[in-house]
Amino acid sequence: MSQSHSAAGAWHRPMVARLASEHHRTATALELFFDLCFVVAVAQASAAFEHELAEGHVGHGVLGYALVFFAIWWAWMNFTWFASAYDTDDVPYRLLTLVQITGALVLAAGVAEALEHDDFTVITWGYVIMRLAMVTQWLRAAHSDPARRRSCLRYAVGILVVQVGWVGRLALPDDGGLPSFLVLVAAELAVPAWAESAGTTTWHPHHIAERYGLFTIIVLGETITASTIAVRAALDTDAALGDIATLVVGGVLTVFALWWLYFSQNAPRRLTSLRTALLWGYGHYAVFASAAAVGAGLALNVAHATGHGHLTDRAAALAYTVPVAVFITMVWLLHHRAAELRSRTDLVHPLAVLAVLASVFTPAPVLVTGILTAALVAATLVLTWRAAKAAAAA
């Protein structure tokens, strides 16, 4: 290790960079607690998204969900990469993490208003609280790590300037909201590339891969929770279990298959440079957002099967199959190199995506989607076994 962490929670440690090659670098208890608090915001976004779709506000719901989820994902991602390089686990670090958790809870409280009524006031203040805490963390790192001071200061200045923009955006008229949002999103995305160009911070590939994997598990778990609540609500309204049995089976099969597909990949091998790390990290916006949307889609289909909501059968099916297709596509793209995408055997993923989307024309699209995703897992297992056998014989 680059510094001793045996006395967890020491009063103060210099925030020197941890080694990117550090052995046995794993997620900490504080990071896991941070994730669990963040998933509250994910749950709120998923529930509000489901409500918008159920009311027939598809376009508005999709756009609002995309905007709200950016705030959740980006704040989580920035803490994760910072902690990979500068986690000192001293009292100031823990207290600043508490500030970020508080901001996440404020953000969660404003999710419904932002998504359903385009009122981003609460969610913006929650987001800014989290980001200003990160400015303080980066200033600590700049003070203690002279070798990467320029990078740390660029992070601090870039984040601070963009937060001024987010607060200023609240004063804009409604018709200027979306363009300003997109400009500020572009600015947020540009800060890491600009900062790291002055000197790469020492994020740990295996630690980063584990952190993303753990958050994927938590989001998929939230999908199961949302679906369970929807099933319970349906049964409480005198719906017969047989009416929703195919949805339950299909949903469980799908979520388990998505988990399997994600963790069948060797993520650290993709994190070999700043460019690939940024693409991999940024691409997880769609992974996390689609995983949470699967839960919203499944809950929506449960409600639809019991006579609630304003969507047609096909629209309800698309609310489920599209997020599943997006998740499979992104996992396929993020975990494969360009040369591998041209392999004939790797066509199984895009073919599975097309089949999932086509399942909306079947009488039981959720069940069919579950069967198709399970079949994709089986196909990847067979292909992996054949490749290993061929390599051994060569």
341, pLDDT greater than 70: no
Cα 121 to Cα 341: distance, rounded to the nearest angstrom: 43
Q: What is the pLDDT of residue 339?
A: 46
Lowest mean pLDDT among 177-181, 233-237, 248-252, 322-326: 233-237
Q: Which residue has the higher pLDDT, 10 or 88?
A: 88
Percent residues over pLDDT 70 in the chain: 93
Quick: pLDDT tens for 21-30: 888 888 999 9
- Output the average pLDDT for the chain: 88
For residues 278 and 329, which has the higher predicted lDDT (pLDDT)?
329
Predicted confidence band of residue 264 (pLDDT cuts 50, 70, 90): confident
Question: In the predicted model, is pLDDT for residue 104 greater than 80?
Answer: yes
pLDDT band at 239 (very low <50, low <70, confident <90, very high): low
pLDDT for the residue 337: 55
Residues in the chain: 394
Kindly tell me the burial class for residue 34, based on how many C-beta atoms sit within 10 Å of its own C-beta (0-12, 13-18, 19 or more). buried
Residue bearing the bigger pLDDT, 10 or 243:
10
pTM (predicted TM-score)? 0.91
390 band by pLDDT with thresholds 50, 70 and 90: confident
* 275 Cβ neighbours under 8 A, 6+ residues apart: none
Average pLDDT for residues 221-242, to the nearest whole number? 79
Whether pLDDT at 391 is above 80: no
d(CA 83, CA 263): 22
Q: How confident is the model at residue 338 (pLDDT cuts 50, 70, 90)?
A: very low
End-to-end CA distance of the chain: 40
| Rounded Cα distance, 42 and 49, in Å | 10
- At residue 8 the predicted structure's pLDDT band, cuts being 50, 70 and 90, is low
pLDDT of residue 32: 94
**What is the dihedral angle through the alpha carbons of 216, 217, 222, 225, rounded to the nearest 10 degrees?**
150
Q: Distance between CA atoms of 61 and 57, rounded to whole angstroms?
A: 6
Mean pLDDT for 274-293 is 92
Q: What is the pLDDT of residue 268?
A: 77
If one compares 247 and 162, the residue with the highest pLDDT of the two is 162
Q: What is the mean pLDDT of residues 197-217?
A: 92
pLDDT of 1 reads 39
Question: Is the per-residue pLDDT at 3 higher than 50?
Answer: no
Domain boundaries, the chain: 29-196, 205-393
Q: What is the mean pLDDT of residues 254-275?
A: 86
- Please report, as a single letter, which amino acid is at residue 137: Q
Indicate the pLDDT class of residue 113, thresholds 50, 70 and 90.
very high
The whole-number average pLDDT for the span 99-120 is 92
Q: Which of 346, 350, 351 is nearest to 330 (CA)?
A: 350
pLDDT at 344: 60
Q: How far is CA 115 from CA 47, 119, 123, 335, in A?
A: 10, 8, 10, 31
Any idea of the CA torsion for 79, 80, 86, 92, to the nearest 10 degrees? 40
The pLDDT-based confidence of 6 (bands split at 50, 70, 90) is: very low
pLDDT the model gives residue 228 = 85
Residue at token pair 């995983």: 291
| pLDDT band per the 50, 70, 90 thresholds, residue 11 | confident
Mean pLDDT of 149-155: 96
Evaluate whether 330 touches 283 at the Cβ level (below 8 Å). Answer: yes
Q: What is the mean pLDDT of residues 290-311?
A: 87
Q: What is the pLDDT of residues 42-75, one digit of tens each?
A: 999 999 999 999 888 999 999 999 999 999 999 9
Q: Which residue type, as a one-letter code, is found at position 241?
A: L
pLDDT above 90 (res 309):
no
Of 355, 352, 359, whose CA–CA distance to 301 is shortest?
359
